[in-house]
Amino acid sequence: MLQPPDLSLSLELPEITPAEFAQIQQLAREKFGLDLKPGKEKLVEARLWRLLRQGGYKNFHQLYRDIIRDTTGESLIALIDALTTNVTSFLREAEHLEFLATTVVPALWDRPTIDIWSCACATGEEVYSIAFVLLERFGHEIETRLQLLGSDISTRALRYAERAIYPESRLANLPPNWLQRFFLRGHGRMAGYYKVRPEICRLVKFERINLVEPFDHLPRFPVIFCRNVLIYFTPEARSECVPRLVDRLEAGGYMFTGLAETLSGTDARLAYVQPGVYRKKPARKLRRGGNDQWSDDGV
């Protein structure tokens, strides 16, 4: 566990040495798949200063040493919370939401449930945006069937997502009537804040999932949003993670990535549809082998 603060230490904060940076870099790569490239020293330093100060550590090596000694895993959680970039926004890359509402969901309409996984949902804006857009388009009819899973590695971001309370400034790109339709307005101490309505929050479950660790307890989804997270991974972590995500996608299901990202060449089961949109190819025909049946695409 990280140490309680030692208030006798001066507030002077040390710089990260090349050896200390290499230690953090290796840990982030092994445990979270993160690619802390050379040149990110100052960023890492700034993001870890709070942990350094809270723990009363004199240097980054002491912090690293306690993180790897901590068998509870809590220090690793604190590390990833400090290192991750949780930047997101409501209706980000809205063309994906449009495509979801006009092309993907109508084809799923006959199903009893419509399940969507946002696998790096950060502070929740992505997963709530999906709910808002689909509720706007399909009305209450979809409310009983929509099941959203929001996951992220950052417990801090997930706590924020679960609370579902956002300052007005973060709602600037939502149509004004959506504030009333999808949020409760804060008063008194909460003036200037909006809370997603409970009936919408009920459509979303949150879970902490590290994408570089197994997640095969999850069902297969017809839609996975995996936007703006793989860009932070090492090439090895990316090429190990993408096939496991595709495994969690139904045949014919859609995977969304950030508009600037490409999955081309990462998994033969994916076909490019449009920027940031991929579709898992239909399962190949079954081959017969005695009494057994096999398909050759692992779906």
Ligand X SMILES: C[S@@+](CC[C@H](N)C(=O)[O-])C[C@H]1O[C@@H](n2cnc3c(N)ncnc32)[C@H](O)[C@@H]1O
Residues that bind ligand X (CB under 6 A): 32-34, 84-88, 92, 120, 122, 126, 152-154, 157, 210-212, 227-229, 232, 258
Say how far apart CA 125 and CA 121 lie, in whole Å.
Answer: 7
Contacts with 68 (C-beta within 8 Å, 6 or more apart), sequence order? 27
One of 81, 92, 115, 152 is an active-site residue; which one? 152
Minimum CB separation from ligand X for residue 269, in Å? 21
Of the candidates 214, 170, 228, 220, the one whose C-alpha atom is nearest the C-alpha of residue 195 is 170
Of the candidates 82, 76, 81, the one whose C-alpha atom is nearest the C-alpha of residue 16 is 82
- Give the nearer residue to ligand X in terms of CB position, either 34 or 108: 34
Beta-carbon count within 10 A of 237 CB: 19
One of 29, 35, 47, 197 is an active-site residue; which one? 47
- Give the nearer residue to ligand X in terms of CB position, either 28 or 299: 28
Beta-carbon count within 10 A of 28 CB: 22
Report helix, strand and coil shares of the chain as percent, to nearest 5.
40, 20, 40
- Give the nearer residue to ligand X in terms of CB position, either 194 or 232: 232
Minimum CB separation from ligand X for residue 172, in Å? 15
Minimum CB separation from ligand X for residue 283, in Å? 27
- Give the nearer residue to ligand X in terms of CB position, either 75 or 84: 84
Buried b (16+ CB within 10 A) or exposed e, 109-131: eeeeebbbbbbbbbbbbbbbbbb
Q: Up-side HSE of residue 255: CA atoms within 13 Å toward CB?
A: 31
Minimum CB separation from ligand X for residue 201, in Å? 18
Say how far apart CA 281 and CA 254 lie, in whole Å.
Answer: 10
- Give the nearer residue to ligand X in terms of CB position, either 92 or 279: 92
Minimum CB separation from ligand X for residue 120, in Å? 3
Closest residue to ligand X using C-beta atoms: 88
- Give the nearer residue to ligand X in terms of CB position, either 111 or 159: 159
110 is catalytic: no
Query: What single DSSP character describes residue 160?
Result: H
Say how far apart CA 132 and CA 174 lie, in whole Å.
Answer: 10
47 is catalytic: yes
Minimum CB separation from ligand X for residue 176, in Å? 22
In the chain, DSSP assigns E strands to 114-118, 146-152, 165-167, 183-185, 193-196, 204-208, 221-225, 249-256, 270-274, 277-280, 287-289, 292-294
Active site residue ranges: 47, 152
